[in-house]
Amino acid sequence: MFGLGMQELLVILLILLLLFGATKIPALARGLGKSVKEFKKGMREGDEDEKEDKSEEGKKT
């Protein structure tokens, strides 16, 4: 996983815990999850719009 071993991941998690505290980490993870969900939704909508545009162009010619 990205060339990181178990020890490196534990150190990163410990630093995050010290910086943000145990109560903030779930809120940060929720926010990150919502952001990823919205990004994927936008990408799907963009792909659908492109397909519609291409099909409309095909009908015009």
Model confidence over 10-55: pLDDT tens digits? 999 899 889 888 888 889 889 999 999 999 999 888 877 777 777 7
For the whole model, what pTM was predicted? Answer: 0.54
Q: How far apart are the first and last CA of the chain?
A: 49
Chain-centroid distance, C-alpha 4: 20
Non-local CB neighbours of 44 within 8 Å, separated by 6+ positions: none
